[in-house]
Amino acid sequence: MEEIVLKHPMIEHKISILRDEKTGTKEFRELINEIGMILCYEALKDAPLHEIDIKTPITETVGKQIDENDYAFVPILRAGMGMVDGVLRLMPNAKIGHIGLFRNEETLEPVEYYCKLPKNIENKTAIILDPMLATGGSGSAAIEMLKKRGVKKIKFLSVISAPVGLERIKKDHPDVELYTAYVDKELNENGYIVPGLGDAGDRIFGTK
């Protein structure tokens, strides 16, 4: 599995603001989108280009473009929705799917309750969005759901990851490329990433 951790002063700066419990909903939401856009930029570094003819105000030339129809963003509900606006700034014509999972309180395993994906998803590169990769259970389940629907190329974007979550994805899906802005040290007894951000969904949508 290719695991890319962004290392940049601006990422450190933005993550520190996200961590602060005094950061309000508006700023938190904006920062999640900004980091999502940066992660998407990195994840698209290998995007194939095709040539197009262009007429500039000066002359005719040949340009290069990405075929946005080849990509689909798939947020894991609900926190993953907080990254959608950011990635769409880079690729506004990409299709959007949605995956909904909840945790069975007895088995602690993720259970699918919703899945709506773009047409011909099996022919696209699917980019899963989830701000927090904690145990990796939901992330692994989401990847498996896409694979069962024929998707062959999958990338996973997370803002904060825990080592156990990274290891779970690496073990279950070594063919998936994973991009994260920061790796924290551990999970606490309640499964929250430490030091983490708290509940990303609650902070994005103001339900904390």
Whole-angstrom distance, CA of residue 21 vs CA of residue 11: 18
Q: Is 150 left (phi over 0), alpha (psi -120 to 50) or beta?
A: left
Return the exposure string of 46-60: e unless at least 16 CB atoms fall within 10 Å of the residue's CB, then b.
eeeeeeeeeeeeeee
To the query of whether residue 199 is one of the catalytic residues in this protein, the response is yes
Kindly list the distances between the CA atom of residue 39 and the CA atoms of 8, 32, 178, in Å, as whole numbers in the listed order.
12, 10, 10
To the query of whether residue 59 is one of the catalytic residues in this protein, the response is no
To the query of whether residue 107 is one of the catalytic residues in this protein, the response is yes
Which is catalytic among the residues 25, 89, 103, 172? 103
Whole-angstrom distance, CA of residue 140 vs CA of residue 120: 22
Q: How far is CA 149 from the centre of its chain?
A: 19
To the query of whether residue 103 is one of the catalytic residues in this protein, the response is yes
Return the exposure string of 139-162: e unless at least 16 CB atoms fall within 10 Å of the residue's CB, then b.
bbbbbebbbeeebebbbbbbbbbb
Catalogue the active-site residues.
103, 107, 199, 202
